[in-house]
Amino acid sequence: MENSQETEKNFKENKKIVFSAIQPSGAMTLGNYLGAIKSWNQMQDKYRCIFALADLHTITVRQNPENFRKNTLELYALLLACGIDPDKNLFFIQSHVHTHTELAWILDCYTQFGELSRMTQFKDKSKKYADNINAGLFSYPALMAADILLYNTDLVPVGEDQKQHMELTRNIAQRFNGIYGDTFTLPEAFIPKTGAKVMSLQNPSAKMSKSDTTPNSCVLLMDSPDAIMKKFKKAVTDSDSQIKFKQNEKTGINNLINIYSTVCGKSLEETENEFDGKGYGTFKIAVAEAVIGTLRPIQAKFKEYISDPGYLQEKYTQGALAALDISSSTLKKVKEKIGFIL
Ligand code: ATP
Ligand code: LTN
């Protein structure tokens, strides 16, 4: 079947709509993969999925133009390598679809200063980038709400850190619907049971983040097997020696148990039983080997996709056209309700 026909067929079927995005702010981490991308992958058959690279969000932090372009293209290729099928889903680059910025401005006017001030991501990033606390960083969640609400989204697969932004998205949608009548579908966050918050290997009380520059804190999807092994061997753990998940504690061992369980598709308890009586050293090697095994096929496919920029361009252009088509009708509805002359 022709690709565009297949995409159209998927969108006509009466399936729930999934939307999610990831920023091309650096190399993808194991946290991004386990918290979000793995769910994207698993949702492709069951739902109508729309995925984007949130490059407009990325410029809330200053980017070097060369690196930014490279990161965006590489992330697109890496997501294809992770199994995202651009012929089955819409998969595009946010800045190629102008309806996102247009609805974002409108939603800015329905979002309160107080609400945005309470966002923990804004507070964290204001501390981290204290010399550039720009208006975009502040209104970041309104753009994220626009991304989601443009597509009548039912479900949004994200990691735990995005829960607060999802609640705000629902509040904005409810407020708008309250004023103008039913306009937006109320989306729900889809947060996986394990892997939803992978922590830094060097500081288990901070999340593993693409933009963290602490050496050995992040496992990157394109890290070599040696680098992965070294990072896990150096992972910070406590002085205890049992492989036991400690509820309500942000310990390094909890993080490793969580990673291993998610990668191997096991429950936390199954992992504890498997390593009962074994030491941290043995466990760290097992975690590293499981991660290396999962990433090996992804890394091989990435090399194929990145060496074919013509194919990448064809796919992201096709995705953007289809996304513009769907999102334009929501934007038109919103503008009509507000009273713009169309
Ligand atoms: P940045 O460091 O630039 O803020 P990031 O690594 O936090 O980037 P995003 O692009 O903002 O990543 O997030 C993409 C997806 O990955 C989101 O769904 C987010 O919830 C998820 N995610 C990010 N970090 C983690 C983590 N440590 N554990 C689980 N999920 C995560
Ligand atoms: N803010 C998100 C990235 C993002 C997103 C979205 C996620 C931008 N737009 C829409 C889900 C739905 C983050 O992960 N930091």
Longest dimension (CA), the chain: 71
Partners of 207 in the β-ladder: 199
Known catalytic membership, residue 210: yes
pLDDT at residue 211, rounded to an integer: 78
pLDDT at residue 23, rounded to an integer: 96
**Ligand 1 lined by 35 (C-beta under 6 Å):** yes
pLDDT at residue 250, rounded to an integer: 76
Site to probe by mutation for ligand 1, drawn from 79, 161, 259 as the one with most ligand atoms within 8 Å of Cβ, is: 161
**Ligand 2 lined by 189 (C-beta under 6 Å):** no
How far does the centroid of ligand 2 lie from the alpha carbon of residue 212, in Å? 18
pTM across the whole model: 0.92
pLDDT at residue 98, rounded to an integer: 98
Going from the N-terminus, what domains does the chain have, and what CATH number goes with each? 4-196+309-338 (3.40.50.620)
Rounded to whole angstroms, the Cα distance separating 295 from 289 reads: 10
How far does the centroid of ligand 2 lie from the alpha carbon of residue 157, in Å? 9
**Ligand 1 lined by 192 (C-beta under 6 Å):** no
How far does the centroid of ligand 2 lie from the alpha carbon of residue 23, in Å? 7
Site to probe by mutation for ligand 2, drawn from 19, 23, 51, 168 as the one with most ligand atoms within 8 Å of Cβ, is: 23
Any idea which ligand is nearest the CA of 28?
1
pLDDT per residue, tens digit, the chain (342 aa), is 445 555 555 555 689 999 999 999 999 999 999 999 999 999 998 999 999 999 999 999 999 999 999 999 999 999 999 999 999 999 999 999 999 999 999 999 999 999 999 999 999 999 999 999 999 999 999 999 999 999 999 999 999 999 999 999 999 999 999 999 999 999 999 998 887 899 999 999 999 998 788 989 999 999 999 999 999 999 999 877 889 998 878 789 999 999 999 999 999 999 999 999 999 999 999 999 999 999 999 999 999 999 999 999 999 999 999 999 999 999 999 999 999 999
Ligand 1, atom 16, residue with closest C-alpha: 32
Q: How many CB atoms lie within 10 A of CB 62?
A: 11
**Ligand 1 lined by 55 (C-beta under 6 Å):** no
**Ligand 1 lined by 99 (C-beta under 6 Å):** no
Which residues, in sequence order, are CB contacts of 81 under 8 Å at separation 6+? 298, 299, 301, 302, 304, 305
Any idea which ligand is nearest the CA of 218?
1
Rounded to whole angstroms, the Cα distance separating 95 from 280 reads: 45
Known catalytic membership, residue 125: yes
45 and 23 in contact (C-beta within 8 Å)? no
> One of 16, 38, 46, 125 is an active-site residue; which one?
125
pLDDT at residue 210, rounded to an integer: 82
**Ligand 1 lined by 207 (C-beta under 6 Å):** yes
> One of 123, 127, 163, 210 is an active-site residue; which one?
210
**Ligand 2 lined by 104 (C-beta under 6 Å):** no
